Amino acid sequence: MHAIVPPYLLARLADADAPHLAGAAEAARATLAAPRPYHRGRTRANLDVSVEGDALVVEGSPAPDRVTSDAQHRETLPGRRVRGEDDPPTGDEAADEAFDGLGETFAFLWDAFDRASIDGAGGTLAATVHYGEKYDNAFWNGERMVFGDGDGEVFTGFTGSISVIAHELGHGVVEHSGGLDYEGQSGALNESIADVFGALTDQHVQGQSAAEAAWLIGAGIFTPAVQGVALRSMKAPGTAYDDDVLGRDPQPAHMRDYVETTEDNGGVHINSGIPNKAFHLVATALGGHAWERAGRIWYLTLTGGSLAGTADFARFAAATTQTAHAEYGEDSEEAAAVRTAWNAVGVTNGGRGN
């Protein structure tokens, strides 16, 4: 279910009739047809902890527990284990990039939110590379990250983009925080929050401020043949690509352009552009490192225990506003930025916005 490349984009590629893209079209059709069984992962703690009253206290800074496996171009998981925490680099670029990306995401979650791994308890981070033949996607299956190598004509391998790795692991954080139903607006919020984790991890790795960041999800996974820079732009939804074969990025940035559809679980990848833009507006209005205030508000809203799995955009807007009020005060700069952002994308203020 939780794949980085939306089905509507793969469908466009699958229908391509250009001779030079015959291989990519075949790969897209195979990717769409391939099963992606979903499994609810089980937590395995990897922390030294103590209990103080009702609180679970981490002793010192936790270290990641990473395992990377190689599917050897089969569609069977987990594949052959090739690297763990005590092992040297494999020399396989995809395996080592995945391993490093898991570590960078772990470091971000701990540095930004004091969260030990995606489950908050130091659980193992697992990844499988070289999934399938020319598989045009990367996905989270409830237990691990899974990466295809791409078709080489439109998509390159997916392990070279930290925003892809952190996005998919972000779905794991959403699940372990109570979950958001993967359909309609709650599904678009699920996708958007995963994009937030992807973008913030990328910025954390590069030490970028909100103003300096590109706010792109999936930058680098297109080959030079594609007219586009990434799968999605949080800064300017609808502008990430405009290609003769793939078409134009269909994401809206405002509720007036909300896409009503039964495809893609009710448009979860398309309509995530609206809350993505709202987050970008909050982050850039507040400035500095986006994870410090904007990210904290989104994270506390997600993990606070009061967000319903069926939450729509309006409920999430109200919840983030309430979090900003509680953390910073109703008259604070932070609360004003959150209110202004949701107004600007038309979720509040009667859908008028700017």
Please report the DSSP string for 31-71 in residue order.
HHHS--------------EEEETTEEEE-S-----EEEEE-
Nearest-angstrom CA–CA distance, 290 and 257: 26
Nearest-angstrom CA–CA distance, 238 and 252: 6
* Contacts of 339 by beta carbon, 8 Å cutoff, 6+ apart: 321, 348
- At residue 339, the 3 state secondary structure works out as helix
Rg (CA), the chain: 20
- At residue 348, the 3 state secondary structure works out as coil
Nearest-angstrom CA–CA distance, 278 and 255: 11
Catalytic, 171? Answer no
Catalytic residue among 130, 269, 280, 289: 269
Nearest-angstrom CA–CA distance, 218 and 230: 5
- Strand pairing of 125-129 and 66-70? parallel
* Contacts of 249 by beta carbon, 8 Å cutoff, 6+ apart: 228, 232, 233, 237, 238, 239, 240, 241, 242
Hey, what are 215's tokens? 């706010």
Give the burial string for 23-32 (b: 16+ CB within 10 Å, else e). Answer: ebbbbbbbbe
Nearest-angstrom CA–CA distance, 353 and 267: 21
Per the CB < 8 A criterion, the answer to whether 293 and 254 are in contact is: no
Catalytic, 168? Answer yes
Nearest-angstrom CA–CA distance, 335 and 345: 16
Catalytic residue among 104, 153, 168, 334: 168
**What are the residue numbers of the active site?**
168, 269
